[in-house]
């Protein structure tokens, strides 16, 4: 997910305009020491002997620019998690949305001889070769979310379940509409960038889930993971459909614009499901005074886990709860369904849009 600085500025404008409100939340991670941190970053506790200080390691980190709430949380979580370990030196490089610059920055980490690199590539295909270069130099690469073209370019991949996001959203919508006795509901989908595999996977999961209830998507339009595009697309959908029963929006950041369009049109006959699990949307779910009734998570806490995994790999350790002596090569996170009934459990994990 990427966005321009102009989009980020516009997002702040919508926030101050009253579409969403609330204080910052702490993001939790899976492992760490007993110290804590705030400002929407990871807060962790020791859960095994693996968290006790061991061999000192240096972990490099590279990610796109934090011009999107989810990406911002990725970088914050990674930095906060590294601080939990007295045996880790965290060495981030400048965040960038320029592929050539990211490649150059990662090559600098390789030249410095870091012990491991956690990398969320701006473009997985384009960054594959530099991942291979690091691995060939004996540097373990933890590929975060956007996958390289070959598993030879990483030691471990960890990321979200895009198909699972769509599946969870479709199951929630299908169950709720069935309970309401809807036989031919009008279901709208505000997708992300259509040429991205992640968007395609989310839409496929959504369609598959709805099909199990005998439902289908009535109207679908793609946005760009931005506030502006979310508002424009939702405005078009509202104009095209005088009555809607349910909406799924793929991304909570663009959801700020989606909600702005809904407010502007004075529409409230439907319920809406968000995507990614922002704290903004979770606060709306908890208040239960808007169309937002649910969001499905795509947790940026994966960056905290990626740092923990890189540390274990560099120290030659495995995961304490597994029998195997090595860290797994592939970890896909689940997509949780967050509703008013369980929002308090997930709100500390939310990121600020």
Ramachandran quadrant class, 145 (left: phi over 0; alpha: psi -120 to 50; beta: rest): left
Query: How far does CA 340 lie from the centroid of its chain?
Result: 20
**Is residue 184 a contact partner of residue 245, using CB atoms and an 8 Å limit?**
no
Per-residue model confidence as pLDDT tens for the chain (353 residues): 433 333 333 332 333 333 333 322 322 333 333 333 333 454 444 456 888 999 999 999 999 998 789 999 999 999 999 999 999 999 999 999 999 999 999 999 999 999 999 999 999 999 999 999 999 999 999 999 999 999 999 999 999 999 999 999 999 999 999 999 999 999 999 999 998 889 999 999 999 999 999 999 999 999 999 999 999 999 999 999 999 999 999 999 999 999 999 999 999 999 999 999 999 999 999 999 999 999 999 999 999 999 999 999 999 999 999 999 999 999 999 999 999 999 999 999 999 98
Helix (H, G, I), strand (E, B), or coil: what is residue 291?
A: coil
Contacts of 152 (CB under 8 A, 6+ apart): 132, 135
Give which of 144, 137, 240 is closest to 186, Cα–Cα: 240
What pTM did the predictor assign?
0.83
CATH of domain 162-297: 3.40.50.2300
**Residues in a beta bridge with 88:** 57
- Helix locations, the chain, DSSP H: 5-16, 69-83, 99-112, 128-136, 162-179, 197-211, 227-240, 252-265, 279-287, 302-314, 343-346
Distance CA 213, CA 174 (A): 6
pLDDT of residue 66: 86
pLDDT of residue 35: 34
User: What residue ranges do the domains of the chain occupy?
Assistant: 31-160+301-321, 162-297
Query: How far does CA 7 lie from the centroid of its chain?
Result: 18
Helix (H, G, I), strand (E, B), or coil: what is residue 184?
A: coil
- How far is residue 264 from each of residues 19, 234, 291, measured CA to CA in Å? 11, 11, 13
Identical topology for domains 31-160+301-321 and 162-297: yes
Distance CA 228, CA 245 (A): 23
CATH of domain 31-160+301-321: 3.40.50.2300
Give which of 27, 28, 30, 107 is closest to 62, Cα–Cα: 107
């Amino acid at each position: 997910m990427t966005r321009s600085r102009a989009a980020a500025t516009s997002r702040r404008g919508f926030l101050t305009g009253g579409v969403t409100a609330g204080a910052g939340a702490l993001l939790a991670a899976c492992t760490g020491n007993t110290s804590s941190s705030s400002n929407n970053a990871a807060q962790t506790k020791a859960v095994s002997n693996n968290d006790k200080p061991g061999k000192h390691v240096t972990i490099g980190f590279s990610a796109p620019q934090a011009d999107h709430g989810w990406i911002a949380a990725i970088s914050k979580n990674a930095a906060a998690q590294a601080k939990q370990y007295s045996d880790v030196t965290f060495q981030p490089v400048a965040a960038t949305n320029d592929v050539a610059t990211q490649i150059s920055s990662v090559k600098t980490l390789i030249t410095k001889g870091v012990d491991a690199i956690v990398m969320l590539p701006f473009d997985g295909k384009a960054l594959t070769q530099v991942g291979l270069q690091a691995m060939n130099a004996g540097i373990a690469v933890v590929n975060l979310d956007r996958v390289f073209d070959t598993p030879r370019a990483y030691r471990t991949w960890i990321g979200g379940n895009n198909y699972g996001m769509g599946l969870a959203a479709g199951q929630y919508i299908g169950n709720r509409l069935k309970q309401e006795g809807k036989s031919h509901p009008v279901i709208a989908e505000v997708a992300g960038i259509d040429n991205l595999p992640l968007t395609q996977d989310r839409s496929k999961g959504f369609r598959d889930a709805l099909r199990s209830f005998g439902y289908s998507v009535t109207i679908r339009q793609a946005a760009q993971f931005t506030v502006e595009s979310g508002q424009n697309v939702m405005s078009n959908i509202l104009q095209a459909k005088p009555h809607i029963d349910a909406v799924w929006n793929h991304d909570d950041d663009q959801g700020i614009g989606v909600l702005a369009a809904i407010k502007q049109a004075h529409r409230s006959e439907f319920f809406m499901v968000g995507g990614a699990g922002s704290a903004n949307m979770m606060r709306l779910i908890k208040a239960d005074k808007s169309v937002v009734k649910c969001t499905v998570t795509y947790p940026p806490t994966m960056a905290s886990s990626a740092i923990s995994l890189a540390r274990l790999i560099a120290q030659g350790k495995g995961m304490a709860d597994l029998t195997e002596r090595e860290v797994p090569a592939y970890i896909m996170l689940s997509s949780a369904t967050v509703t008013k009934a369980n929002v308090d459990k997930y709100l500390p994990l939310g990121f600020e849009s």
